[in-house]
């Protein structure tokens, strides 16, 4: 039920001078709910009707069919509409109680695929906070579009190809220790990589050796391939441990290496379309007409392909494999020039579906207000950080609810949820400061705050032994419950807005508002007291918990029933 539209319709009936859409755009939500739920300003009619706005307002207020509303009144130049709370709350509550977690499901996608390029860490390198952001934001967006009837395809475009693997092979053959790598894959491989780079500065022959090994790898040499495979497998063991902690999974781990045999086609296509030009021995595509200054570098003078060549092959492969409605790349803002080039080259190739590709960028995370820098030792190591978040959550739970049954699982849900929620509540283009204490706090705009509101409602419902009766009419008309009803009614639109803007923060902020509105209600209303309204209050609580849990699920955050 769209109440705004209902009001616009009623106004249009008595103001034929204005189109219904114009009215819809003019309707305002008053700052203070004493002024109604929606207000129509009469200013724009003054010219047309040659009357003072105050007069127009009171004329309209008189003519409007008020039977649909609690009250319609003119105040100065505004007509204020008070919706019929009893009627609307009954409708909204019955919708949520009947649908449960399916409430607000929509079929905009009709089962079409949306590809998400997400997480995509580099083999043998540490999983960075940027990779975490990509993982968490994309996973949430995938949940959001699934709720709208699309089929999300989560693709981990691993950085598992490139000359650095030649370096790594040389280093491992010289100094590597199998057991050390197996015990601590990323740290050990990184050490080897750092060392070979340092030594290559003194001894350029190492570079030449590395290039040779990468050439062998590209040609499918057995030793090179099995070492590469092993580096990849060992790194993935570590990454997967993290994905497990985060409760994120993928439909595909096809990374850059997967496209090794699919790049010739790209180069041939570019050639056939006459798009390749030579520049200092390299093959490039000029993109001036897209306002892009730097040409896309497709092939180096030594014949080696590049990051963008692999991304071109990946884009085409995804279009063919998934016939995506949209293809989303959740990658840090520092790669925005790359994705502009990628889209433009595909467009040049005549692929209009390049318009369906979006780089969903995000900002940088700082720590203690300073930029992260491995060199300066300002780093966030994810596994120990998650463990720390979980242990902080555990001690808060210990203090609040020492007899809780499954403390460990709840602490995990709260600790991990806290990190995810903090990331997701920020507009993604804004970075944030990684502040574990603020993240895990039960107060403020945090994950634990929302989770706690949900758990509190569950405990009220348990105490009341409330069960849903879909044949019953639950209805409320007090001001505090009305704030909650309006929010719940808004949930379907909120999800669409989050999806349109690729912005999970819209859901996170919504969850905070709903939790706050409920806490306010709880402070004013003795929900469990005997009263003719008791069942409706419980139904409202139940509906709030349902929507809170669903909003958290869209963010990839669990909602324990007790905490
Ligand atoms: N591996 C890259 C990095 O860590 C991110 C890859 C992003 N996805 C892509 N299709 N280019 O910077």
Is the four-CA dihedral 22, 24, 25, 26 of positive or negative sign? positive
Taking the CA of residue 338 as reference, the ligand 1 atom at the shortest distance is: 11
Taking the CA of residue 339 as reference, the ligand 1 atom at the shortest distance is: 11
> Tens digits of per-residue pLDDT, 257-272?
999 999 999 999 999 9
Cβ neighbours for 165, distance < 8 A, ≥ 6 positions apart: 123, 213, 214, 217, 228, 231
Residue 231 backbone dihedrals phi, psi, to 5 degrees: -55, -45
State the distance from the centre of ligand 1 to the C-alpha of 287, rounded, in angstroms.
Answer: 22
**For 44, left (φ over 0), alpha (ψ -120 to 50), or beta?**
alpha
Taking the CA of residue 311 as reference, the ligand 1 atom at the shortest distance is: 10
- What separation in angstroms does the CA of 148 have from each of 331, 448, 493, 507, 545? 23, 26, 11, 14, 21
> Tens digits of per-residue pLDDT, 313-351?
999 999 999 999 999 999 999 999 999 999 999 999 999
Taking the CA of residue 159 as reference, the ligand 1 atom at the shortest distance is: 1
State the distance from the centre of ligand 1 to the C-alpha of 331, rounded, in angstroms.
Answer: 7
Closest Cα to atom 1 of ligand 1: 159
Q: In three state form, how does the secondary structure of 404-450 look?
A: CCCHHHHHHHHHHHHHHHHHHHCCCCCCEECCHHHHHCCCCCCHHHH
State the distance from the centre of ligand 1 to the C-alpha of 214, rounded, in angstroms.
Answer: 20
Among 116, 122, 159, 255, which residue has the most ligand 1 atoms within 8 Å of its CB, making it the best to mutate?
Answer: 159
pLDDT of residue 196: 95
- Exposure string of 170-183, with b = 16+ CB inside 10 Å and e = fewer, is bbbeeebeeeebee
- The three-state secondary structure class of 125 is coil
Residues 489 and 3: their CA atoms lie apart, in Å, by: 9
Q: Which H helix or E strand runs over 505?
A: helix 505-524
State the distance from the centre of ligand 1 to the C-alpha of 130, rounded, in angstroms.
Answer: 10
State the distance from the centre of ligand 1 to the C-alpha of 269, rounded, in angstroms.
Answer: 24
- What separation in angstroms does the CA of 258 have from each of 212, 261, 328, 372? 20, 7, 19, 31
Q: What is the CA radius of gyration of the chain?
A: 29
Taking the CA of residue 128 as reference, the ligand 1 atom at the shortest distance is: 4
Q: Which H helix or E strand runs over 321?
A: helix 307-322
- Cα 86 from chain centroid (whole Å): 35
Which residues are registered as beta bridge partners of 365?
A: 432
pLDDT of residue 3: 83
Are 440 and 415 in contact, with CB atoms under 8 Å apart? yes
Can you list the residues of the chain whose pLDDT is less than 70? 1
State the distance from the centre of ligand 1 to the C-alpha of 157, rounded, in angstroms.
Answer: 7
What angle in degrees, to the nearest 10, is found between the helix axes of 205-218 and 222-246? 80
Closest Cα to atom 4 of ligand 1: 121
- What separation in angstroms does the CA of 33 have from each of 28, 486, 498? 12, 12, 26
- What separation in angstroms does the CA of 231 have from each of 131, 161, 225, 337, 377? 19, 11, 10, 30, 25
State the distance from the centre of ligand 1 to the C-alpha of 121, rounded, in angstroms.
Answer: 7
Are 461 and 541 in contact, with CB atoms under 8 Å apart? yes
State the distance from the centre of ligand 1 to the C-alpha of 231, rounded, in angstroms.
Answer: 18
State the distance from the centre of ligand 1 to the C-alpha of 120, rounded, in angstroms.
Answer: 5
pLDDT of residue 56: 94
Among 118, 120, 341, 361, which residue has the most ligand 1 atoms within 8 Å of its CB, making it the best to mutate?
Answer: 120
159 DSSP 8-state letter = B
Closest Cα to atom 11 of ligand 1: 311
pLDDT of residue 500: 98
Taking the CA of residue 332 as reference, the ligand 1 atom at the shortest distance is: 12
Taking the CA of residue 335 as reference, the ligand 1 atom at the shortest distance is: 12
Encoding tokens for residue 176? 């590597």
pLDDT of residue 1: 58
Q: Which residues line ligand 1 (CB under 6 A)?
A: 117, 120-122, 157, 159, 311, 329, 331
- The three-state secondary structure class of 467 is coil
Closest Cα to atom 6 of ligand 1: 120
Taking the CA of residue 158 as reference, the ligand 1 atom at the shortest distance is: 1
Strand 277-279 and strand 151-155: the pairing is: unpaired
The DSSP annotation for 342-384 comes to HHHHHHHTT-GGGGGEEEE----EEETTEE-BTTTTB---HHH
State the distance from the centre of ligand 1 to the C-alpha of 466, rounded, in angstroms.
Answer: 49
Residues 450 and 453: their CA atoms lie apart, in Å, by: 5
State the distance from the centre of ligand 1 to the C-alpha of 426, rounded, in angstroms.
Answer: 22
**For 127, left (φ over 0), alpha (ψ -120 to 50), or beta?**
beta
Are 510 and 137 in contact, with CB atoms under 8 Å apart? no
Are 121 and 135 in contact, with CB atoms under 8 Å apart? no
State the distance from the centre of ligand 1 to the C-alpha of 324, rounded, in angstroms.
Answer: 20
Is the four-CA dihedral 378, 379, 384, 387 of positive or negative sign? positive
Full-model pTM: 0.94
The size of the chain, in residues, is: 563
pLDDT of residue 376: 82
Is the four-CA dihedral 473, 478, 482, 483 of positive or negative sign? negative
Closest Cα to atom 3 of ligand 1: 121
CA angle 113, 115, 117 (to 5 degrees): 170
State the distance from the centre of ligand 1 to the C-alpha of 119, rounded, in angstroms.
Answer: 8
Taking the CA of residue 125 as reference, the ligand 1 atom at the shortest distance is: 4
Strand ranges inside 136-212, DSSP E: 151-155
Enumerate domains of the chain plus CATH numbers.
3-83 (3.30.1360.70), 113-267+302-366 (3.40.50.620), 382-554 (1.10.730.10)
Residues 55 and 61: their CA atoms lie apart, in Å, by: 10
Cβ neighbours for 111, distance < 8 A, ≥ 6 positions apart: 149, 150, 151
Closest Cα to atom 5 of ligand 1: 120
- The three-state secondary structure class of 65 is coil
State the distance from the centre of ligand 1 to the C-alpha of 315, rounded, in angstroms.
Answer: 13
Helices assigned H by DSSP within 27-80: 43-49, 53-63
Cβ neighbours for 276, distance < 8 A, ≥ 6 positions apart: 267, 270, 283, 284, 285, 298
pLDDT of residue 305: 80
């Amino acid at each position: 039920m769209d109440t705004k539209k209902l009001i616009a319709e009623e106004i249009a009936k008595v103001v034929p001078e204005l189109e219904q859409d114009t009215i819809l755009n003019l309707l305002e939500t008053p700052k203070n709910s004493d002024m109604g739920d929606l207000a129509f300003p009469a200013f724009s009619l003054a010219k047309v009707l040659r009357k003072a706005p105050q007069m127009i307002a009171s004329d309209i207020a008189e003519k409007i069919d008020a039977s649909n509303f609690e009250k319609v009144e003119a105040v100065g130049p505004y007509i204020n509409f008070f919706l019929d709370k009893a009627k609307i709350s009954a409708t909204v509550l019955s919708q949520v109680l009947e649908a449960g977690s399916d409430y607000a499901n929509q079929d905009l996608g009709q089962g079409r695929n949306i590809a998400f390029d997400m997480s995509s860490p580099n083999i043998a390198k540490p999983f960075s906070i940027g990779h975490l952001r990509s993982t968490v934001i994309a996973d949430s967006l995938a949940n959001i579009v699934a709720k709208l009837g699309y089929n999300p395809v989560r693709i981990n475009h691993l950085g598992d190809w490139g000359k650095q693997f030649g370096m790594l092979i040389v280093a491992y053959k010289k100094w590597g220790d199998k057991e050390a790598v197996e015990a601590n894959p990323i740290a050990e491989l990184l050490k080897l990589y750092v060392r070979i780079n340092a030594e290559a500065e003194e001894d350029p022959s190492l570079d030449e050796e590395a290039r040779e090994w990468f050439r062998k790898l590209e040609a499918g040499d057995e030793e090179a391939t099995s070492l590469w495979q092993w580096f990849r497998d060992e790194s993935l063991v570590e990454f997967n441990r993290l994905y497990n902690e985060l409760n994120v999974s993928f439909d595909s781990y096809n990374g850059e290496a997967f496209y090794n045999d699919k790049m010739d086609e790209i180069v041939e296509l570019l050639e056939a379309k006459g798009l390749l030009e030579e520049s200092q021995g390299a093959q490039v595509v000029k993109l001036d007409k897209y306002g892009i200054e730097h040409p896309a570098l497709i092939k180096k003078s030594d014949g080696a392909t590049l990051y963008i060549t692999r991304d071109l092959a990946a884009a085409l492969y995804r279009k063919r494999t998934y016939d995506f409605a949209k293809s989303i790349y959740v990658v840090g803002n520092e790669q925005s020039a790359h994705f502009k080039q990628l889209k433009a080259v595909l467009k040049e190739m005549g692929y209009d579906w390049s318009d369906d590709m979006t780089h969903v960028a995000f900002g940088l995370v700082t720590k203690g207000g300073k930029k992260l820098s491995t060199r300066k030792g300002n780093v966030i190591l994810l596994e120990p950080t998650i463990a720390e978040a979980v242990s902080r959550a555990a001690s808060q739970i210990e203090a609040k609810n020492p007899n809780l049954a499954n403390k460990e699982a709840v602490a995990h849900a709260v600790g991990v949820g806290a990190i995810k929620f903090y990331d997701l509540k920020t507009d993604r283009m804004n970075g944030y400061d990684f502040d574990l204490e603020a993240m895990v706090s039960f107060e403020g705009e945090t994950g634990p705050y929302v989770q706690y509101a949900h758990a509190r409602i569950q405990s009220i419902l348990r105490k009341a032994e409330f069960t849903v009766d879909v044949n019953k009419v639950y209805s409320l008309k007090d001001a505090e419950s009305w704030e909650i009803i309006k929010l719940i009614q808004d949930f379907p639109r909120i999800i669409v807005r989050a999806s349109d803007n690729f912005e999970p923060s819209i859901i996170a902020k919504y969850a905070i508002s709903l939790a706050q509105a409920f806490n306010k209600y709880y402070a004013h209303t003795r929900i469990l007291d005997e009263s003719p309204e008791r069942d409706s209050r419980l139904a409202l609580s139940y509906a709030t918990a349902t929507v809170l849990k669903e909003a958290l699920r869209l963010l990839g955050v669990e909602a324990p029933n007790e905490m």
